[in-house]
Amino acid sequence: MLMAENIEIFGLEFIVRDYECDLQGVVNNANYQHYLEHARHEFLITKGINFVDLHNEGIDLILTRVEIDYKYPLRSRDRFIVKIDIEREGNARLVFIQEISRIPDNKLIVKARVTGVATRNGRPVPPGKIVEQLGLV
**Exposed (0-12), middle (13-18) or buried (19+): which is 47, by Cβ within 10 Å?**
middle
Among 3, 4, 6, 19, indicate the residue that binds a copy of itself (CB under 8 A): 19
Among 2, 8, 13, 45, indicate the residue that binds a copy of itself (CB under 8 A): 45
Nearer to a copy of itself, 31 or 133 (CB): 31
Which residues have a Cβ under 8 Å from the Cβ of 90 and sit 6 or more positions away? none
Contact 63, 73 (CB under 8 A): no
Name the region of 38 (left: φ>0; alpha: ψ -120 to 50; beta: rest). Answer: alpha
**In the complex, least distance from residue 59 CB atom to a copy of itself, rounded to whole angstroms:** 11
**Count of residues interacting with a copy of itself (CB under 8 A):** 34
Backbone φ, ψ for residue 19 (5° rounding): -70, -10
**In the complex, least distance from residue 129 CB atom to a copy of itself, rounded to whole angstroms:** 19
Residues that bind a copy of itself (CB under 8 A): 17-19, 21-25, 28-31, 33-34, 37-38, 41, 45, 51-52, 55, 60, 62-70, 73, 76-77
